[in-house]
């Protein structure tokens, strides 16, 4: 009888301890839910950790440290928890999150490789392996992982979209296009699919397609600045200048005061049919701001724009001076000088010289160059201007072979 009382007493004590521990655990969970991580951590550090709960407690300590920004300590605790549960996908995923937050991409990659070894059919792991490899500029490996994910689930739109994006970034439009079509078939309302398709349309100069897709994404609440700029450019190319100006001004209002936005607005204002002095002066200001913000290889585009403004304002000598400064780098400057000498200066001989020089430079170009889109027009003007008297090209104005222009890629790392 006495032994029975002792056993009952022990059971009651164990139940009380377990109940106390359970209450403590509930309190800790409440604190974590409320975001009171420092207080939760102080409770966790006082707990008497047993083998059965050690991994769980370590994970909670790691989470609190992570939320408090103590990334090294969080990783250390997660690895300690992993030593207790070496096949825990949950812990490995948390390690991957902390490692990437700590800019340890190699560690993140190795963690997902370990997860992939635990479950090679999990498409999430494959997609993350692809994403991390892409971040490390190893697109080929990223592509191979996404191809595996699509083999496992060919209706996984995220895999389809990610693979199409990598192909677009690598200028493999022919491989991206069928994936974009497939993505559209899977979900025609997907903002990501519409984004990708708008980029493909842009590459094909289908600016109406760009406009339609991006107006659709805007109707769903999308306001991504990259695609807003693309929309503004599409309006510009379609000669919908008021709409283009409105888009670029809207970007400025939300704080997107960048080189590309200022340049886009400047070009749209320059192309405005109103062509009044105030708009041209605003365009001038925006070109100068684009130059000040400039980090791209488009600075000569802005200088050409400023020269065009001088010409539109009737400042012919200033325009000639600006274009002269650009003849060694931009064939278009040579063509514009030919036009000015023909139409503004009425100097047929100088005009003919510049038209001929423009054709000579364009013939030397090894790659397609947008500046040489006026070759047919130049040939027609030469036919009208040419006289029986042979004209020699003065060496002082002959342009050096132009720097080749980079073909637009509209790259985006989504």
Residue range 304-312: mean pLDDT, rounded: 96
Q: How far apart are CA 258 and CA 147, in angstroms?
A: 36
The reported pLDDT for the residue numbered 73 is: 94
Q: How far apart are CA 186 and CA 191, in angstroms?
A: 12
Percent of residues, the chain, with pLDDT higher than 90: 75
The reported pLDDT for the residue numbered 267 is: 96
Query: Last residue of some domain: 168, 186, 204?
Result: 186
Residue 12 predicted with pLDDT over 50: no
Q: Are 302 and 294 in contact (CB under 8 A)?
A: yes
The reported pLDDT for the residue numbered 5 is: 41
Q: Measured between alpha carbons, how far is residue 320 from residues 304, 374, 396 in Å?
A: 11, 19, 15
Total tally of structural domains belonging to the chain = 4
Residue 269 predicted with pLDDT over 60: yes
Average pLDDT, the chain: 87
Helix 375-385 to helix 331-343 angle (10° resolution) is 30
Looking at the structure, do residues 330 and 303 belong to the same domain, yes or no? yes
Looking at the structure, do residues 305 and 387 belong to the same domain, yes or no? yes
User: Is 219 inside a domain boundary?
Assistant: yes
Residue 8 predicted with pLDDT over 50: no
Nearest to 327 by CA among 315, 314, 340: 340
pTM over 0.85: no
Give pLDDT tens digits for 235-249. 999 999 999 999 999
User: Is 291 inside a domain boundary?
Assistant: no
The reported pLDDT for the residue numbered 404 is: 36
Q: What's 381's domain CATH number?
A: 1.25.40
Please report where in the chains the tokens 């677009």 appear, as a residue: 168
Q: How far apart are CA 48 and CA 57, in angstroms?
A: 10
Contacts of 211 (CB under 8 A, 6+ apart): 231, 234, 235, 238
Residue 272 predicted with pLDDT over 60: yes
Looking at the structure, do residues 21 and 67 belong to the same domain, yes or no? yes
The reported pLDDT for the residue numbered 21 is: 45
Structure-token pair, residue 49? 């950790």
Looking at the structure, do residues 382 and 304 belong to the same domain, yes or no? yes
Residue range 382-407: mean pLDDT, rounded: 51
Please report where in the chains the tokens 């340890």 appear, as a residue: 104
Residue 13 predicted with pLDDT over 70: no
Q: How far apart are CA 61 and CA 3, in angstroms?
A: 41
Please report where in the chains the tokens 């190893």 appear, as a residue: 138
Q: What's 150's domain CATH number?
A: 1.25.40.10
Work out the pLDDT band at 276, boundaries 50, 70, 90: confident
User: Is 380 inside a domain boundary?
Assistant: yes
Looking at the structure, do residues 202 and 271 belong to the same domain, yes or no? yes
Residue range 98-102: mean pLDDT, rounded: 94
Q: Element (H or E) spanning 23, and its range? A: helix 2-33
Could you list the residue range(s) of the whole structural domain that residue 69 is in? 11-98
The reported pLDDT for the residue numbered 9 is: 38
Q: How far apart are CA 413 and CA 112, in angstroms?
A: 20
Q: Would you say the C-alpha torsion 101, 104, 105, 111 has a positive or negative sign?
A: negative
Work out the pLDDT band at 396, boundaries 50, 70, 90: very low
Percent of residues, the chain, with pLDDT higher than 70: 85
Looking at the structure, do residues 255 and 319 belong to the same domain, yes or no? no
Left (φ > 0), alpha (ψ -120 to 50) or beta: where does 346 sit?
left
């Amino acid at each position: 009888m006495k032994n029975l009382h002792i056993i009952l007493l022990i059971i009651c004590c164990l139940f009380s301890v377990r109940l106390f521990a359970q209450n403590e655990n509930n309190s800790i969970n409440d604190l974590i839910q409320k975001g009171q991580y420092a207080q939760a951590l102080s409770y966790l550090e006082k707990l008497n950790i047993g083998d059965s709960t050690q991994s769980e407690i370590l994970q909670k300590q790691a989470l609190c440290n992570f939320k408090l920004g103590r990334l090294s300590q969080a990783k250390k605790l997660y690895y300690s928890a992993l030593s207790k549960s070496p096949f825990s996908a949950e812990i490995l995923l948390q390690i991957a999150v902390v490692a990437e937050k700590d800019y340890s991409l190699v560690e993140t990659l190795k963690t997902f490789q370990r997860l992939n070894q635990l479950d090679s059919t999990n498409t999430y792991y494959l997609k993350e392996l692809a994403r991390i490899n892409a971040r490390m500029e190893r697109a080929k490996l990223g592509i191979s992982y996404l191809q595996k994910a699509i083999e496992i689930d060919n209706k996984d739109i995220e895999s389809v979209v990610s693979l199409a994006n990598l192909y677009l970034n690598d200028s493999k439009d022919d491989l991206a296009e069928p994936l974009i079509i497939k993505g559209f078939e899977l979900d025609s309302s997907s903002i990501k699919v519409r984004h990708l398709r708008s980029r493909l349309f842009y590459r094909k100069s289908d600016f109406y397609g760009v406009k339609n897709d991006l107006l659709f994404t805007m109707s769903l609440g999308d306001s991504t600045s990259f695609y807003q700029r693309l929309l503004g450019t599409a309006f510009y190319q379609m000669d919908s200048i008021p709409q283009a100006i409105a888009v670029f001004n809207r970007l400025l209002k939300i704080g997107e005061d960048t080189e590309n936005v200022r340049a886009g607005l400047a070009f749209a204002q320059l192309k405005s049919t109103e062509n009044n002095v105030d708009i041209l002066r605003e365009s001038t200001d925006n070109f100068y701001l684009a130059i000040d913000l400039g980090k791209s290889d488009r600075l000569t585009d802005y200088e050409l724009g400023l020269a065009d403004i001088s010409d539109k304002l009737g400042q012919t000598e200033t325009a000639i001076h600006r274009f002269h400064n650009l003849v060694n780098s931009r064939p278009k400057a040579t063509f514009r000088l030919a036009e000015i000498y023909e139409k503004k200066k009425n100097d047929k001989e100088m005009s003919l010289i510049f038209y001929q020089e423009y054709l000579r430079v364009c013939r030397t170009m090894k790659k397609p160059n947008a500046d040489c889109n006026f070759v047919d027009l130049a040939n027609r003007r030469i036919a009208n201007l040419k006289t029986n008297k042979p004209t020699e090209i003065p060496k002082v104005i002959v342009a050096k072979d132009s720097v080749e222009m980079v073909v637009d890629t509209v790259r985006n790392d989504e």
